[in-house]
Amino acid sequence: MIAARPPIGRPAGLTVTFEESFCACEEEALRFLVAEHGFRRVAREVDKGSGPAGVHAQAVYQASETDAESGREVVLSIAPLLLALNLQIASTASGAYTVEELHALDGKGPFPQRMHGLYDAMHEPGQLLAEFVRLADALQTCGRRFFNDEPSLWDDLLAQREQHAVVEHIKDILALAKEAFHARDWLGVVALLAPIEARLGSRASARLAYARRRALEES
pLDDT at 70 over 90: no
Quick one: 181 and 205 in the same domain?
yes
Q: Domain count for the chain, please give it.
A: 2
Quick one: 41 and 121 in the same domain?
yes
What is the per-residue pLDDT across 189-198, written as a single tens digit (0 to 9) for each?
999 999 999 9
Of 111, 127, 149, which residue sits at a domain end? Answer: 149
Whether the Cβ atoms of residue 5 and residue 34 lie closer than 8 Å to each other: no
Distance CA 69, CA 91 (A): 9
Quick one: 194 and 144 in the same domain?
no
Quick one: 63 and 43 in the same domain?
yes
Residue 111 corresponds to which amino acid? F
Quick one: 54 and 144 in the same domain?
yes
Quick one: 119 and 34 in the same domain?
yes
What is the per-residue pLDDT across 77-130, written as a single tens digit (0 to 9) for each?
999 888 999 999 999 889 999 999 999 999 999 999 999 988 888 889 999 999
Quick one: 126 and 166 in the same domain?
no
Q: What is the mean pLDDT of residues 139-147?
A: 95
Whether the Cβ atoms of residue 70 and residue 99 lie closer than 8 Å to each other: no
Quick one: 97 and 46 in the same domain?
yes
Q: What is the mean pLDDT of residues 185-209?
A: 92
Quick one: 75 and 123 in the same domain?
yes
1 part of a folded domain: no
What is the per-residue pLDDT across 9-48, written as a single tens digit (0 to 9) for each?
444 445 778 899 999 999 999 999 999 999 999 999 998 8
Decide the pairing of beta strands 95-98 and 84-91.
antiparallel
Q: In terms of C-beta density within 10 A (0-12 exposed, 13-18 middle, 19 or more buried), how is residue 49 classed?
A: exposed
Quick one: 134 and 41 in the same domain?
yes
Determine the angle formed by the axes of helices 99-106 and 125-142, rounding to 10 degrees: 40
Quick one: 130 and 183 in the same domain?
no
Of 149, 178, 208, which residue sits at a domain end? Answer: 149
**Residues of the domain holding 31:** 18-149
Q: What is the mean pLDDT of residues 142-151?
A: 94
Quick one: 138 and 201 in the same domain?
no
Of 130, 149, 168, which residue sits at a domain end? Answer: 149
Q: Show the DSSP H helices in 87-201 as ranges.
A: 99-106, 118-123, 125-142, 144-147, 151-182, 186-193
Question: In a 3-state reduction of DSSP, which class is residue 183?
Answer: coil
- DSSP at 1: -
13 part of a folded domain: no
212 part of a folded domain: yes
